[in-house]
Structure 1
Amino acid sequence: MAVRDIMRNDSGEKTVTVSDPAELSNLQDGREDIDFPEGGLKAWSVVLGAWCAMIPSMGLLNSLGVLHAWTSTHQLKEYSESSIGWIFGAYGFFLYFAGAQTGPIFDTYGPSVVVIPGSFGMVVSLICLSFSEEYYQIFLSFGVLGGLSACTLFNPAITAVGHWFNVRRGYATGIACTAGGIGGVIFPLIILFAAPKIGFPWAIRIIAFISALMCAVACVLLKTRFPGNLKAGTSVDFKALRDIKYASTTAAVFLVEFAVFIPVTYIASYAIHVGVEDTMSYLVIAFLNLGAIPGRFLPGLVADRVGRFNMMVLTSVVCAILILALWLHASDNLASIICYAVLFGFWSGAAISLTPVCISQVCATEDYGKRSGTTFTITSVGMLTSIPIAGAIQQQNGGEYGGLIIFGGVLYLAAALAFAVARGVCRGWSLKTKF
């Protein structure tokens, strides 16, 4: 039987020590340092800081559907769906692509060097967006500057949580990631209710003010535990892909991230297309993100008990079923659309909260920033292309959404298979294995 000693130090931080080799392997995948606080004031304050950092970065990512629907019917109404998709694909691309730089910088110098400039950049991005009218202006202000700034908030936030939690890492990361769902509810509601009354530019400026406040808190609270890794480079660590465990995990993460933002981006436009009133169409994104709030932390809580890879297989399969069985046949039935949005929001939450935890299981903690940055840099290619590819499929089908929906569902099935293979490679093929 595994022996765990749970102690609290003078600061109230809980340390979990494991003496059984098999249990050690399950928790740390062979790593030597297993003394993590797993709680206490300092650890949970870092989770709060990560939560604040992800309100603007992931909140805006989860608001792409409303931004896409609004710009496609206002500033960019003369552009094709595929062309508009490149703007929002670029946001996701730069959010993940710049991880190759922000991860190693974080590992070496800590979060402040990354988060403070990123906070400033995020606010500037939103202010610039509020003045943007032309395609290139929106692309540069939101797609490029916004995406780069979001990366410097998201990557350090996820990595910092991993410095304080191991056994409960999925749960703690999931709690931090609920910020994406909350931001994805608040920001669309601001656009929906404020933009018609005071204008879209002032609605975006309100979002910029909220983002500035959240970023200020994040800059104060985000802390690390481990000394700087001065050997960390500032480039993509392709050599790490020689490790079959890390490579297979990266492939699985690539596929699920390729899939997840197609429904998020196009569900509001789909509702408008089938005749749902504009206000309710925008609210569909809020419903999706309401489902995503518990979907960020509940799967993480379960995953800590049954295995993170196991949970990713399950959630990917369920998302594929929801897309192909519910969304594909929803037509103009508003109840079906809302039901799909809430359920998909819940089950797709693991794609954000658990994928970094999966990466952490196949690398050393001191290399977590660099490895996660490398994975998400590779994943960024999928983020850049998935939204415009889906838009091109819709255009090819004469504006109908059937092909786009099937494309998203098939991608989720591929992601489920990839996580199952990665799980087998990393821990074995027994169905009873917890990993």
Structure 2
Amino acid sequence: MNRPPTAKPRAPPVDSPLVGEEITPTYSTSSAIPIDEPPDGGFLAWSQIVPGHIANMLSWGYGTGFSVFQLYYKQTMHLPASQVAWVGSIQIFLCFVIGMVSGRLSDAGYPKLLYATGAIVTVFGMFMTSLATTYWQVLLAQGFLTGIGGGLMFMPATANVATYFKKNRSLAVALNGCGSSTGAILFPALVQFLTPKLGFGWAVRICGFIGLFLAVIGFFVLKPRKLRRIPAPVVDWNAFKNIPYSTFCAGAFLIYFSLFTMLLYINSFARESIGLSNQESINFVLVTNAVAMPARPIFGVIADRYAGPVNTFGINCIALGIMAFGWIGVHTRSDMYAYSVVMGFVNGGAQGIFSSAVSSFVKDVTKMGTWIGMAFALCGFATLAGPPTMGAIIDASGGRYIWGQLWAGLTIVIGGIFILASSRLVVKDRGGNIWTKV
């Protein structure tokens, strides 16, 4: 008896999904496993944390450790603190904004080229900083060059880590992000302790040689996944039709408006309000970043196993806002050290989970760098405007910090509420499917 031929199952479509729809994965012809499905483990996947960690050291670590440079430039060039602060603000701003472009180019298949180019520009900026003798030279070398280089370098490495993981993504991205704490401890410490012995120029050049050595290791370890590539613009405007993603970005903007402000002004607060020496005030930056290192993987595990990355990020941000309000009660040297420890732990948990939280909204892994980059770009404008706003509030208050502290706490708490709200919003796709868990 002849049986009718059995119809072969048709492969799922591979068209790019609309924002808010669940992606239909691409299948290989020889296997039923989606080729874009993350391996979520294995030596290759976990090894990609190494280049990501190094990229964060040379970008965010070098940038957030700017306090030691600000003190040196203020004392040797006799410049106002607000003018010197623009160097650090521009450096961090460019890391954020250039990340949007490098994220898209990374999705297009150029992560290794971006990593190498960013590393070269960053290290070149360090060496040029060691030779700078005027403000405009410092602004170009440390503000623009290292900012652009860091933005080119860190986003492809961070997005690459996210493409290798799903269940363990928050932990992996948090370990990747620990590089910002490592760099913020290493580079300021080198400059602080080597400058009296070797001079500022050689202290910064040693930072450059170390950065070059680390970048070479990161380049050879970096192994981007071979994913399908879909032509797309630098900015995917359809992403903002995704209401949860847009709500998340609005909350992140408010948070980063004041987050880096707290880190940048903690030194001046210790000097002007507590009465500590310039040298001792730098210790609070080192303490804050040292405590942040263990916090990042701890909250990464919590996000992966229990609360989810978006909820974990939102709760940490609300806690950080409360810490900003608590800053008002710091009056003594011992208060300052205790506050730095707690604030560093909470801040580390918040910053360490940010990239993973953004990636939770990306249903198509081929757009991972693009969507994360757009969120970072928005936060970049917030970090550029935040410190000058804080400074204006302090100046208008006669040098008192209380109104600036209240402003920082208020913006961060409201931003945290937006983040938590984004994980509760319901979005329906064309097929009527509902997804809310991020």
Find the aligned partners of 1:220 and 1:310 in 2 and give their Cα distance. Answer: 35
SS in 1 for 2:48: helix
Residue equivalent to 2:352: 353
Tell me the CA shift for residue 128 of structure 1: 1.2
Tell me the CA shift for residue 394 of structure 1: 2.2
Residue equivalent to 2:79: 78
SS in 2 for 1:425: coil
Go from structure 1 to structure 2 and tell me whether the alpha carbon gap of 1:376 and 1:141 turns closer, same or farther (over 3 Å shift): same
TM-score using structure 1 length: 0.87
SS in 1 for 2:224: coil
2:402 maps to 1:410: no
Find the aligned partners of 1:356 and 1:292 in 2 and give their Cα distance. Answer: 16
Tell me the CA shift for residue 125 of structure 1: 0.6
Q: Report if the CA contact (8 A) 1:163-1:226 is conserved.
A: no
- Larger CA Rg, structure 1 vs 2: 2
Go from structure 1 to structure 2 and tell me whether the alpha carbon gap of 1:141 and 1:91 turns closer, same or farther (over 3 Å shift): same
SS in 2 for 1:354: helix
Go from structure 1 to structure 2 and tell me whether the alpha carbon gap of 1:142 and 1:120 turns closer, same or farther (over 3 Å shift): same
Aligned runs of 1:138-157 on 2, under 5 Å? 138-157=138-157
Find the aligned partners of 2:63 and 2:343 in 1 and give their Cα distance. Answer: 16
Residue equivalent to 2:260: 261
Residue equivalent to 1:25: none
SS in 1 for 2:400: coil
Find the aligned partners of 1:90 and 1:414 in 2 and give their Cα distance. Answer: 25
2:324 maps to 1:323: yes
Find the aligned partners of 2:136 and 2:422 in 1 and give their Cα distance. Answer: 40
2:421 maps to 1:421: yes
Q: Report if the CA contact (8 A) 2:289-2:348 is conserved.
A: no
Residue equivalent to 2:391: 391
Tell me the CA shift for residue 31 of structure 1: 3.5
SS in 2 for 1:227: coil
Tell me the CA shift for residue 97 of structure 1: 0.7
Task: Name the aligned partner's letter for residue 109 of structure 2.
Answer: Y
Find the aligned partners of 1:313 and 1:197 in 2 and give their Cα distance. Answer: 44
Residue equivalent to 1:200: 200
Q: Report if the CA contact (8 A) 1:108-1:228 is conserved.
A: no
Residue equivalent to 1:44: 46
Q: Report if the CA contact (8 A) 1:191-1:204 is conserved.
A: yes
Find the aligned partners of 1:390 and 1:362 in 2 and give their Cα distance. Answer: 31
In structure 1, list runs of 5 or more residues that go unmatched: 1-27
Runs of 4+ residues over 6 Å off in structure 1: none
Find the aligned partners of 2:316 and 2:69 in 1 and give their Cα distance. Answer: 26
| 1:312-340 per-position Cα deviation (integer Å, ceiling 9, x unaligned) | 12111211122212x21212x11111111
Tell me the CA shift for residue 167 of structure 1: 0.6
Residue equivalent to 1:11: none
Residue equivalent to 2:281: 281
Find the aligned partners of 1:124 and 1:348 in 2 and give their Cα distance. Answer: 30
Q: RMSD of the TM alignment (CA)?
A: 2.0
| 1:167-220 per-position Cα deviation (integer Å, ceiling 9, x unaligned) | 100001111111111111111211221112222222111111111111111111
Q: Report if the CA contact (8 A) 2:243-2:427 is conserved.
A: no
Aligned runs of 1:373-388 on 2, under 5 Å? 373-388=373-388
Find the aligned partners of 2:122 and 2:300 in 1 and give their Cα distance. Answer: 28
Q: Report if the CA contact (8 A) 2:99-2:154 is conserved.
A: no
Q: Report if the CA contact (8 A) 1:107-1:232 is conserved.
A: no
Aligned runs of 1:14-29 on 2, under 5 Å? none
Go from structure 1 to structure 2 and tell me whether the alpha carbon gap of 1:115 and 1:407 turns closer, same or farther (over 3 Å shift): same
Find the aligned partners of 1:426 and 1:337 in 2 and give their Cα distance. Answer: 43
Q: Report if the CA contact (8 A) 1:84-1:388 is conserved.
A: no
Go from structure 1 to structure 2 and tell me whether the alpha carbon gap of 1:200 and 1:29 turns closer, same or farther (over 3 Å shift): farther
Go from structure 1 to structure 2 and tell me whether the alpha carbon gap of 1:434 and 1:341 turns closer, same or farther (over 3 Å shift): farther
Q: How many residues align?
A: 399
Go from structure 1 to structure 2 and tell me whether the alpha carbon gap of 1:284 and 1:409 turns closer, same or farther (over 3 Å shift): same
Residue equivalent to 1:290: 290
In structure 2, list runs of 5 or more residues that go unmatched: 1-19, 26-33, 429-435
Tell me the CA shift for residue 29 of structure 1: 8.2
Task: Name the aligned partner's letter for residue 248 of structure 1.
Answer: T
Residue equivalent to 2:343: 344
Q: Report if the CA contact (8 A) 1:310-1:434 is conserved.
A: no
Find the aligned partners of 1:204 and 1:232 in 2 and give their Cα distance. Answer: 40
Find the aligned partners of 1:157 and 1:352 in 2 and give their Cα distance. Answer: 16
Find the aligned partners of 1:329 and 1:345 in 2 and give their Cα distance. Answer: 17
Find the aligned partners of 1:322 and 1:270 in 2 and give their Cα distance. Answer: 15
Tell me the CA shift for residue 45 of structure 1: 1.2
Residue equivalent to 2:176: 176
Report % sequence identity.
25
| 1:121-174 per-position Cα deviation (integer Å, ceiling 9, x unaligned) | 001111111122322222211111111111112111210101111110000111
Find the aligned partners of 1:187 and 1:231 in 2 and give their Cα distance. Answer: 39
2:29 maps to 1:30: no
Find the aligned partners of 1:358 and 1:148 in 2 and give their Cα distance. Answer: 24
